[in-house]
Amino acid sequence: NAGVMQNPRHLVRRRGQEARLRCSPMKGHSHVYWYRQLPEEGLKFMVYLQKENIIDESGMPKERFSAEFPKEGPSILRIQQVVRGDSAAYFCASSWGYNEQFFGPGTRLTVL
Amino acid sequence: DAKTTQPNSMESNEEEPVHLPCNHSTISGTDYIHWYRQLPSQGPEYVIHGLTSNVNNRMASLAIAEDRKSSTLILHRATLRDAAVYYCIQTMNRDDKIIFGKGTRLHILP
């Protein structure tokens, strides 16, 4: 059973471009979470999704950031018009119902 | 904000037991205690969780105080690969978002 997959592992964007981060949860998992870790800081919750629904987006910045988890395919975290402050590691986690969260290896976004 | 408090860092010698403390004085009767750890340049990894009773698994043991206001993660025999940041987390529901604090950075001395 493959673990949580994230791609790309590293992403470089110039200011103003769009970044799309993908997360494939573990097989059978219907809950997906996104977290952000700024350099030398702890992880911050961003958004919690179940299939086709956003359950909790209290940690998402109000502008430029969006997330989806369609019925088919991976969850996508989309950052429009990236700025240097968006440079961070973005981690996705998945769970099945009321169980522990399994984290992916992360996508490291660098904004030039 | 994180509801738990942990020491910023701890050191331990290789092959000795490690006791990582955590305070969660605001815990309610239905809150779980989870422990995750993050190795350098990796995503967090689940370690263990519990509600009221002490718990054991292949990675560690979790000792929960009788009043549930504190707990201790026990690594029975630390190895260099256990060097990581350990996060103690209090959650209302088992599928709730994780509010990470600063965690305890564990250094293992060879």
pLDDT digit string (tens) for chain A, length 112 residues: 579 999 999 999 999 999 999 999 999 898 999 999 998 788 999 999 998 899 999 999 999 999 999 988 999 999 999 999 999 999 999 988 767 899 999 999 999 9
Rg over alpha carbons for chain B, rounded to the nearest Å, is 13
Query: In this structure, what are the phi and psi dihedrals at residue A85, rounded to the nearest 5 degrees?
Result: -65, -10
Question: Is A52 within 8 Å of chain B by CB?
Answer: no
Question: Is B32 within 8 Å of chain A by CB?
Answer: no
Using a CB-CB cut-off of 8 Å, the residues of chain B touching A101 are: 46, 98
For testing the chain B interface, which of A100, A103, A107, A108 should be mutated: the one with the most B CBs within 10 Å?
A100
Q: What is the mean pLDDT of chain B?
A: 91
CB neighbour list of residue B96: distance below 8 Å, 6 or more residues apart: none
From the CA of A107, how many Å to the nearest CA of chain B?
10
Question: Is A48 within 8 Å of chain B by CB?
Answer: yes
Full DSSP string of A17-64? --EEEEEEPPTT--EEEEEEE-TTS-EEEEEEEETTEEEE-TTS-SSS
pLDDT digits (tens, 9 = 90+) for B69-106: 999 999 999 999 999 999 999 887 655 778 888 899 99
Question: Is B55 within 8 Å of chain A by CB?
Answer: no
- pLDDT for B99 equals 82
* Greater model confidence, A25 or B41: A25
Rg over alpha carbons for chain A, rounded to the nearest Å, is 13
Full DSSP string of B25-43? TT--TT-EEEEEEE-TTS-
For testing the chain B interface, which of A101, A102, A107, A108 should be mutated: the one with the most B CBs within 10 Å?
A101
pLDDT digits (tens, 9 = 90+) for A55-70: 999 999 999 999 999 9
Give Cα B80 distance to the centre of its chain: 17
- Per the listing, tokens 């979790």 go with B62
- pLDDT for B94 equals 57
- pLDDT for A58 equals 92
**pLDDT exceeds 70 at position B1:** no
Residue of B nearest to A29 (CA): B95
Q: Mark yes or no for CB contact A100/B49 under 8 Å.
A: yes
